[in-house]
Amino acid sequence: MWIPGFGRYSAKPGNRVGDDAPGFSLLDQNGAQVSLKEQLGDKPIVLVFYPRASSPICTKQMCSLRDNWATLVQKARVFGVSYDPPAALKVFKQNDKLPFTLLSDPDKKVANAYGVAGLFAAARVSFVIGPDGKIKAVITDIKASDHDQQVLDAL
């Protein structure tokens, strides 16, 4: 169910399976710059867009990734992306013991490039990006408590 003000995935040239993934450079939960180009390498990258740090459904979604981290980390590099500022992301990461990097997209540039931007929050959508920088899968029907399996199936 779509909520007004929240993003919805809008497939367009540049954010579809087979397209080159839009490049970006964002601050992580510690205020360090993270760019897609520097992360590309031997493993796929999973970009997990979610509406709000520490909200109930987002917490359930991110904790499903955390709980299957031993398997996920062998297959991919995972990054959570939301509009939240780095300080809120740091609290979310610490409180829920999230083992992956969280990225701050306050100006919605990355969410817009990936077609998931909304007025108040990004859509709950995950992208699998291959080591070659091409989008390999787009997961749009996120099931928060089973998102880890959805990602593994897409890998």
Is the pLDDT assigned to residue 2 strictly greater than 80? no
Q: Which residues pair with 134 in a beta bridge?
A: 20
Residue 104 gets which letter from DSSP? E
The pLDDT tens digits for 24-71 are 999 999 999 999 999 999 999 999 999 999 998 899 999 999 999 999
Confidence of residue 1 (pLDDT cuts 50, 70, 90): low
Whole-number mean pLDDT of the chain? 94
Superfamily for the 25-154 domain:
Glutaredoxin (3.40.30.10)
Token pair in block for residue 80: 């959570």
- Which of 47, 58, 78, 102 is flagged as catalytic? 58
Q: Residue 16 has what pLDDT?
A: 95
Cα–Cα distance, 87 to 91 (Å, whole number): 6
Confidence of residue 11 (pLDDT cuts 50, 70, 90): confident
Q: Is residue 63 annotated as a catalytic residue, yes or no?
A: no
Cα→Cα distances 99→13, 66, 73, 106, 134, Å = 32, 6, 9, 22, 25
Q: Are 48 and 79 in contact (CB under 8 A)?
A: yes
Q: Residue 56 has what pLDDT?
A: 87
The pLDDT tens digits for 70-81 are 999 999 999 999
Cα–Cα distance, 105 to 111 (Å, whole number): 7
Token pair in block for residue 87: 């300080």
Percent of the chain with pLDDT over 70: 97
Domain boundaries, the chain: 25-154
Cα–Cα distance, 18 to 2 (Å, whole number): 26
